[in-house]
Amino acid sequence: MADSTPVLSSQSIKDFFRDLLQRAMENQRARVQPFTELYLVNLLHEYLLSEMLYVQADDGSWQQRPLALLLKEALEENGPARVQMLRRLGDTSLFVSGFFPDSLARRSSLVDVDYYIAMGGRAYDAVAAIAGERDLWGELSSRFRLLVDLLNEVSDRTLASSNTGLVRLYERFMKTGSERLANLLAGHGVLARRSFLQ
């Protein structure tokens, strides 16, 4: 009789992200409140679904919603709907700036990772003010850049699980000279040195 147990369960994916996040916090000597850690793990799990990050346009293509549009929609709402839209703005900003900073750097527009960080931090601050709950939302807002750095490391560790990902990490190292990336690459047997010709 064949085993019908799924290879990956929702819980195993959350455990995977929790482990990567805890390793990133240990590596960066960062501490967050337990409910913030849980929030980040759940955010990573939820954003595995493409509809959390993209919307289907009228022509059938999938597109990322601009942050300014998410903010406009949030400001047009009241009460719980406004909180939900501001939270989505914060979540999207955190996930994109934490997991895909390279894609923001490649875009030929004025929107960069700092824009995402500013929008996300302000969105979470607004949620804290409306909801009156400073613990979680206040930490997400005030420590947004640290959380982005933690998610950058989670993203890097995820990439390091494949040869193609290691090549991308090496290319990123060549651009940034990041010691963290050099150590991660070294852990996978890749000697990372920047050329003296650069």
Please determine, for residue 149, whether its predicted confidence score (pLDDT) is greater than 80: yes
pLDDT at res. 197 = 39
* Residue 144 falls inside a structural domain: yes
Please determine, for residue 196, whether its predicted confidence score (pLDDT) is greater than 50: no
pLDDT at res. 10 = 62
**Predicted confidence (pLDDT) per residue in 1-56, tens digit:** 455 544 445 678 899 999 999 999 999 999 999 999 999 999 999 887 655 666 65
How many domains, in total, are found in the chain?
2
**Same domain as 141, residue 167:** no
**Same domain as 195, residue 118:** no
Residue range 95-108: average pLDDT?
74
Residue range 115-131: average pLDDT?
94
Model confidence pTM above 0.85: no
pLDDT at res. 169 = 63
Question: Can you tell me which residue has the tokens 């501001």?
Answer: 86
- Residue 33: which domain range? 10-52+65-151
- C-alpha atoms less than 13 angstroms from C-alpha of 72 in its C-beta half-sphere: 5
**Predicted confidence (pLDDT) per residue in 57-73, tens digit:** 677 766 677 888 889 99
Q: Are 101 and 95 in contact (CB under 8 A)?
A: no
pLDDT at res. 163 = 66
* Residue 3 falls inside a structural domain: no
Residue 152 burial (C-beta neighbours within 10 Å; 0-12, 13-18, 19+): buried
Please determine, for residue 180, whether its predicted confidence score (pLDDT) is greater than 50: yes
**Same domain as 175, residue 98:** no
* Residue 182 falls inside a structural domain: yes
Cβ neighbours of 8 (radius 10 Å): 8
pLDDT at res. 105 = 61
**Same domain as 175, residue 102:** no
